[in-house]
Structure 1
Amino acid sequence: MFFTYLRRELRRRRKAALVVASGLALGIALVIVVSSVSSGMGKAQEKVLQSLYGLGTDMTVTKAMETSEEGGERPERPRFSFDAQAEGSGEEQSTDHVMVQGFQSLADSTVDKVGEQNGVADAVGGLSLQVVKVSGEFTRGRFQQDGQGGQDGGPGGAEPSEGGRVQGGGADFDVNSYSVYGTDVTEPELGPLTSSRITDGRTFKASETDAKVAVVDSAHAKEKELETGDTVTVKGTKFKIIGIATAESGDAAADLYLPLKQAQTLADAKDKVTTIYVRATDSQQIDSVKSAIQKNVSGTTVTTSADLADTVSGSLSTASSLATGVGTWLSVAVLVTAFLVAGLLTSSAVSRRVREFGTLKALGWNSGRVTGQVVGEAVVHGLMGGVLGIALGLAGAYAVTAISPTLQAELGGGAGGSGGMGGPGGGPVGGPGREAAAKTLEVALTAPVGLTTVALAVGLAVAGGLVAGAFGGWRASRLRPADALRRVA
């Protein structure tokens, strides 16, 4: 009887049912779109953070910034020496200066100490270097006496006599800088190289801890016209290129990757690392792991993904704020409005069915049965609105994914300082080989819809039906058979 009457009433009041369902559908569709866009923002931000961290890294440990007192020891600056003797004139000369990024490093024994902390699943060290290469040649000038022919002069040549001058000569040198990262080849699943994929050749083998091999970033390889099998020379040491890596986020951690021991040898930094990459046993306990490391490993700064997220600015950050702030409140406002309108429409429909419900009560229907009938109709309206809302929401999310608007994420240099967000030397947090200046990455926005979002939509549809049914059921329960029968003419 209940379902027969329900089916007949829904068929008889199609327009009213469509109006109520449409209102709920708009609110539910907006919730789906906002939720999916927010999820897409989160994935885009994770992609950006992976360019700094590498896949699988929960936090990084670096040396805490030390405030040097006035007149104290200053970091060594690059110095270059060239032979400018006459017999060397016209010959190309070059020299490499390899520096530890930020001039700050940790003893590699710190890696083991960090790995022993509670909640740490794995820890691996890396050494970030900057190589400055200066190459060029000197050209001797010619001494010209007044009224006489010239003779060789310039660097290493004869001193010019009075009444003459040196013409021509000079020096032409090119300065080239690139980043090198020493990675622990025995731990391939942790570190910045995991944010890139090998597109040619292969990655390091666990046995190549001290081998003269290298993996080159694809952008650097294209600029220098390097291929797998070629060799690169760093500070007089030749390394064979075994692979080309392409950064997934479009921004590589370094131009050149070497085994950690080889990088330490090049920089005269034996048993030193600049960054320790840490994976936690439980992603929900990252804050407690961070506190444990800061407490038990002195002189270090621990940076988590949450800390890094605060440094991401640009249109990605703005859009994320809008999606989580304005979008959420807008969704709530639309849903509340839709629920109220559905409730009022259902209550209004009940008032037009006074004679019907009064007659049913006179025939023996109690107030609970009448209320149940109204609530049943409202829940069906809600489910209809849920189906329509899910369809509209999926269409909206698909449209966002199809368009894939490009957002920019700026990774600014940290403020530095002990316990602050800055990396060594005031550079960006967490990233090896990063410059202090901000870098801009472009990421495509998607709007993935998960089962949780669909389940939320169904729950909202049922809730909307119950709210509307509560309004109408309360109104129906107050009807008396005598009032209804009095209107029968």
Structure 2
Amino acid sequence: RRTGAAGRLAVAGVGGAPGRAASVSVVVALGVCLVGSTLTCLASLNAYERYRQAVEAPADFHLYPRDGETLDRTLATDLASRPELADVTAFRTAEVVGSARSATVSDLDLGTVRAGVGLTARTGSLDHLEPAHVVVDAEHAHRLGVRAGDRVTLEFEGRPVRLTVAATLPGAGPYGGNFFVPAADLTRMGAGAAPTTVTANASEDGARGRIRAQRAITGTLTGPERGDGRVIAEDSAAQAGEPDDLRTMATTVIMVLGLTVLVAVAGVATTASLTVVERTREFGLLRALGLSGAAVHRMVTVECALHGALGGLLGLALGLPYSWLVVRVAETSAPFSVPAGRLAAVFTALVLVTAAAGTLPALRASRTPPTVAVARAE
């Protein structure tokens, strides 16, 4: 009713011929299902790839003490004062017992890990870790049978500590950590004040920036107040390359599946053309009753757009569960990620394209003279 007579007649035209609407919409749904599920699978695998890189290469430089030594408490402050370095982070680790097995607990702030958007939670949220809460990696979450909101007990030097699970990770944790707690909670457990690991990133991108950053770290570590060789620096920036192969594969697959959508659009145009031929008398009668040629044009165009909308909704309804199944089979640790923006863009583009496919048939229908209804009346 809000779209006027042309909109009401378009809805009646689609609903009045369910066989024709089903035959066209199913072809469109097939294309949307393939494209939508492919986009969703690639988004999930891309999120897993970013997560893997964030875990394997959390920072450009990883500084840790040799066996039997400890880090200087002022090391992180001295490194942070160097302009060649950025994102200097110091954190502590300790050994705890969870479910009768030893594990590593850390007070690393997961928000400070390089490419923090790559770290996602399977359950819960990583946005803010409150006191008396813990983030658990996938292995220990499965072993303990916990998820966000559950309670877990860890033993540190024989003392039990009760914590609430804030989130669980889809895979391993950075730097081999199994449990991640706030710094105040790790201190309350009895961990030492000296950091066990210091990380830093180069302030400049590229090889030149990493070389300058490495020189700054070397100069800081070999200063007269620290001596030589107390800390080992590890450059892991080369491990964090972009997933170019995945991006290339995604582009190729989408282009191939785009042919299916083109076939569906061609089907909409063909059906609209046949509809115009079959409904010539109907269009003439509408013109005789006072419906303008522009309104007839809008009616046929909206009918084609409705075919695209019905096919798009059906395709998304089938594609999302299918893509979830594919992701679970391909990589169980991959977080299921739905690219809502891309799917909405595909749906909108499909509706517009199917509406455009009916432009020529709609133009022919709008030129049907009112005399056709009288001439064919018996």
User: TM exceeds 0.5?
Assistant: yes
* Correspondence for 1:290 among 174, 197, 205: 205
Identity of aligned residues (%): 18
* Correspondence for 1:397 among 311, 317, 323: 323
Structure 1 residue 230: Cα displacement:
5.6
Would the alpha carbon gap of residues 46 and 260 (structure 1) be closer, same or farther in structure 2, given more than 3 Å must change? farther
Structure 1 residue 486: Cα displacement:
6.1
2:337 aligned residue: 448
- The yes-or-no answer on 1:124 pairing with 2:13 is no
Q: Which has the larger radius of gyration?
A: 1
Check the 8 A contact 1:61/1:275 in 2, yes or no. Answer: yes
Matching residue's letter, 2:175: A
- Please say which of residues 32-41 and 344-353 is displaced more in the overlay: 344-353
Would the alpha carbon gap of residues 187 and 368 (structure 1) be closer, same or farther in structure 2, given more than 3 Å must change? closer
With a CA cutoff of 8 Å and minimum separation of 6, indicate the structure with the bigger relative contact order.
2
CA distance in 1, matches of 2:291, 2:34: 40
Check the 8 A contact 1:34/1:323 in 2, yes or no. Answer: no
Superposition pairs of residues 62-461 of structure 1, within 5 angstroms: 109-114=78-83, 122-124=87-89, 190=112, 228-229=155-156, 249-250=171-172, 253-254=175-176, 261=194, 275-277=199-201, 290=205, 297=213, 299=215, 308-310=239-241, 320=246, 324-401=250-327, 404-407=328-331, 444-461=333-350
- The yes-or-no answer on 1:45 pairing with 2:49 is yes
Check the 8 A contact 1:33/1:393 in 2, yes or no. Answer: yes
Taking only aligned residues, the RMSD between alpha carbons, in angstroms, comes to 5.2
2:200 counterpart SS class: strand
2:175 counterpart SS class: coil
Would the alpha carbon gap of residues 260 and 398 (structure 1) be closer, same or farther in structure 2, given more than 3 Å must change? same
1:474 aligned residue: 363
- Summarize deviations over 1:82-111 as a string: whole Å, max 9, x none: xxxxxxxxxxxxxx97799xxxxx997333
CA distance in 2, matches of 1:400, 1:390: 15
CA distance in 1, matches of 2:351, 2:280: 26
Check the 8 A contact 2:269/2:361 in 1, yes or no. Answer: yes
Q: Name the structure with the higher helix share.
A: 2
Check the 8 A contact 1:400/1:446 in 2, yes or no. Answer: no
Check the 8 A contact 1:44/1:444 in 2, yes or no. Answer: yes
Check the 8 A contact 2:280/2:368 in 1, yes or no. Answer: yes
2:35 aligned residue: 31
- Summarize deviations over 1:369-395 as a string: whole Å, max 9, x none: 211111122222222212212211223
CA distance in 1, matches of 2:336, 2:169: 23
Q: Name the structure with the higher strand share.
A: 1
Check the 8 A contact 2:309/2:351 in 1, yes or no. Answer: yes
Structure 1 residue 342: Cα displacement:
1.0
- Summarize deviations over 1:314-343 as a string: whole Å, max 9, x none: xxx87x457613331233222222112211
Check the 8 A contact 1:354/1:479 in 2, yes or no. Answer: yes
TM-score (norm 2): 0.58
Check the 8 A contact 1:60/1:277 in 2, yes or no. Answer: yes
Which structure 2 residue ranges, 5 or more long, are not aligned?
93-103, 122-138, 141-153, 163-167, 179-190, 218-233
Which structure 1 residue ranges, 5 or more long, are not aligned?
64-95, 101-105, 128-179, 198-217, 220-226, 232-239, 264-272, 279-287, 408-442
TM-score (norm 1): 0.46
CA distance in 2, matches of 1:188, 1:16: 54
Structure 1 residue 40: Cα displacement:
0.7
CA distance in 2, matches of 1:304, 1:482: 79
- Summarize deviations over 1:97-148 as a string: whole Å, max 9, x none: 7799xxxxx9973332148x7xx5x422589xxxxxxxxxxxxxxxxxxxxx
- Summarize deviations over 1:161-204 as a string: whole Å, max 9, x none: xxxxxxxxxxxxxxxxxxx9xx9x79786469x98x9xxxxxxx
Structure 1 residue 253: Cα displacement:
2.7
- Summarize deviations over 1:324-371 as a string: whole Å, max 9, x none: 133312332222221122112112211222333234335544321211
CA distance in 2, matches of 1:298, 1:484: 85
Would the alpha carbon gap of residues 2 and 61 (structure 1) be closer, same or farther in structure 2, given more than 3 Å must change? same
Check the 8 A contact 1:20/1:342 in 2, yes or no. Answer: yes
Check the 8 A contact 1:61/1:300 in 2, yes or no. Answer: no
Check the 8 A contact 1:390/1:457 in 2, yes or no. Answer: no
1:144 aligned residue: none
Structure 1 residue 41: Cα displacement:
0.8
CA distance in 2, matches of 1:484, 1:465: 28
- Summarize deviations over 1:403-456 as a string: whole Å, max 9, x none: x1254xxxxxxxxxxxxxxxxxxxxxxxxxxxxxxxxxxx53454325425533
1:299 counterpart SS class: helix
CA distance in 1, matches of 2:108, 2:15: 70
- Summarize deviations over 1:465-486 as a string: whole Å, max 9, x none: 3123324213324545567766
Structure 1 residue 277: Cα displacement:
4.7
